[in-house]
Structure formats: C-alpha cells, structure tokens
Amino acid sequence: MSSPNDAGTWKGPAILVENVHKSFGEVRALSGVNLMVEQGKVLGLLGPNGAGKTTVVKILTTLLKPDSGRVLVEGRDVVRSPAAVRDIIGLAGQSAAIQEDLTGRENLDIMGRLYHLDSETRRRRTNELLERFDLLDAADRPTKGYSGGMQRRLDLALSLVALPKVLFLDEPTTGLDPRSRLGMWEVIRELVAAGTTLLLTTQYLDEADELANQIVVIDHGKVIAAGTSTELKNRVGGDVIQFEVVERSRLGEAAETVKSLSRSEPVIDYEGGSVSLWVGNNGSHALVETVRRLDSLKIHTEGLGVRRPSLDDVFLSLTGHGADEAEGSSPARRRRGSRRHQKENL
C-alpha cells in the first residue's frame, strides 16, 4: 500500500469515491455514491439537511467506515490505510475540535504535537495561523469566550496545522454572519491558490458557485447531478422571471395568475415578497404575458425582469425543494407516503 512518502508522486485523482453505501441501522445514509476530485481542485458537495454530506466527509476522513465501495485519498485506501490517509488530510467539521478550557494558542500547539511537529515548527505555525485567521489578539484567552465566528476560524486554523494536501470542510460558514463568511471565503481561496485540494460541503448555493470548480448535488444519499455551476445552470435551461409584489398580502394571488406560464410551481419568497417563474426559452413572451395578467388584476409589482437561472433554481428543479428547507417537504418523502398508501390498499 501507499506510504506517506509517496504523497508528492501520486498523479491520480486526489479524492476517489466509488459506489459507496452506508446505513445506520434502518437509515440508508448513502446509496451508491461516486465522486472524483482532481488534485488542486475544489469540489462543492451540495445537499439539503440529511442528504448524506457529513457521512461522506466522515468516511473520507476515516471517522466512519463505508459498508461497501472503495474510497481513496491521494491513492490511499481509507479502510486499509487509515493512518496514511490521516497523515495528509485536514478536517474542519461541524462539531468543532476545540478544547474550550485552553487558549487558542494552546489548542494549535496541541494539534502540532499530535502531528509530531517539533517545538520550533509548532511555534512558527501557530503564530502564522493566528495571524492569518485574525486571532492574534485573542490568542492567549480561553476559547470558551470566543464568538461563534472566532471559534469557526480557530477550527479551520486547527485543520491547517499540518499543511494538509487534502482539506475537508463540512459546512464551514453555516451560522456565520455575512462578514465572517466573506473572510472565510478569502482564506479558502488562498488555500486553493497554494495547491490544496478541497472538498467543501454547504447548504449555501452561492458559496458553491463562488468557490467550487465542480459541484455535486446529493439528496437522500444519492448523487442527483454533477458538473460545473454553468453546466448545471444550462441543464435547467431557459429563463427565470422574477418580480416583487408591493402588497405582500397578494403574493399568493400573483403567483396563481402567472402559474400557467411556469414550467414548475412558481416559487414564492414570503420574506423577500417576490415570485419567480421558470419559463423555459420563451422569456420575452412570458414577460409580456406576466405584465398583462398582473395589470388586469391591478397587482402592483417592482423589479420585474428576466434573469438566467441561479444555482438555487437548479437545486429546486432537481430536488423539488430549496436547499435550506427541511427534508419533510421533499417529493421523495411524499412518494414514500404514497407507496405506503398503495400498500394499505392491497
């Protein structure tokens, strides 16, 4: 098998996942997942809550064993050579690896000891990381007093102590305020520019759009689409018409009157007060017709226009529900319901 010394010579994909299955008792978390990430690239793994993202990350980082299938990181098999895999990876997970009673500096130092770095290297790395993640001022305070954003930055810093070749980030910006989110994106871009291969899970489609070379969408433990952001948008095709309804109480009425122009159920954003329709390739005709129908009902709108589909539209058309919705609203859940119904009729 591979030894840590051939880390620099492996020319194959950085990450290879072949036909992986994983169940937790009755729950089938992964049903035949395939993934490939070339060295130095960023894969965005997208999916709603419960899709199986964390399970994929845990298997790739040797924290869980797959029931079947093959998983290689830089050519090293996660089941047969877990220690060799751990030598070259970093992980920043959803459950932070931070020890609360210790300071940020101490946390980083302990991580360096785990990787057998000598004291001089540890001191240098710790200072570099504290500076890079804007934690120097807080370095000598116990981390239990850190804000959510600071803890997230320290968690990411901890995953970088050993300069990993392949880095796994499980929802790195979930729960962060917009400013910290942009800061995290900047750090991630720097890492990728330095040659790190990255697998990033996220529920935020704009994040995948910004950072990922390649996107894989999973839902209910299966890959349902893969490609670049542009490829996925082209796959949905056509235009999206969007408008805001001035009188919020008439949102439902507005959606209803334009419904027949849309290829799928119009999407109502109750918070933003807007309606969007996926109108295929006939955007200008549909736009004229939208204006006519809304006018005839005297529904006042703002910002009416045609736009290209976003990744959110792609996601909605693929899964039938938004990325940030609970899985209870998914069509698969409804299908399961109808199967049960059929059974009862037998």
Residues that bind ligand ADP (CB under 6 A): 24, 27, 29, 47, 49-55
Nearest to 203 by CA among 231, 169, 226, 233: 169
What is the number of other CB atoms lying within 10 angstroms of the CB of residue 124?
Answer: 12
Helices then strands (H, E): number in the chain? Answer: 12, 14
**Is 48 or 75 the residue whose CB approaches Mg ion more closely?**
48
Residue with smaller CB distance to ligand ADP, 134 or 327 = 327
Min CB(24)–ligand ADP separation in Å: 3
Alpha-carbon distance 54 to 322, whole Å? 19
Least distance between ligand ADP and beta carbon 27 (Å): 5
Measured from the CB atom, the residue of 126 and 173 that comes closer to ligand ADP is: 173
CA–CA distance, 278 with 276 (Å, rounded to integer): 7
Provide the 3-class DSSP secondary structure of residue 121.
Answer: helix
Piece of 8-16, 54-62, 106-114, 300-308 that binds Mg ion (CB under 5 A): 54-62
CB of 53 to ligand ADP, least distance (A): 3
Residue 55 beta carbon to ligand ADP: minimum distance, rounded to whole angstroms:
3
Q: Which one of Mg ion, ligand ADP, none is in contact with 49 (Cβ closer than 5 to 8 A by kind)?
A: ligand ADP
Which of 53, 125 has the CB closer to Mg ion? 53
Phi/psi of residue 315, each to 5°?
A: -60, -45
Q: Determine if 173 is a binding residue for Mg ion (CB under 5 A).
A: no
* Rounded Cα distance, 206 and 311, in Å: 7
Minimum distance, C-beta of residue 25 to Mg ion, in the bound complex (Å):
18
Q: Give the integer Cα–Cα distance in Å for 74 and 16.
A: 8
The distance of closest approach from Cβ of residue 34 to ligand ADP in the complex, given in angstroms and rounded to an integer, is 16
Which has the closest alpha carbon to 85: 109, 52, 63? 63
Choose from Mg ion, ligand ADP, none: what does 190 bind? Cβ within 5-8 Å by kind.
Answer: none
Q: Is 54 in the site for Mg ion (CB under 5 A)?
A: yes
Quick one: which H or E segment has residue 251?
A: helix 251-258
If we measure between CA atoms, which residue out of 200, 230, 221 comes closest to residue 44? 200
Q: Please say which residue, 55 or 229, places its beta carbon nearer to Mg ion.
A: 55
Residues that bind Mg ion (CB under 5 A): 53-54
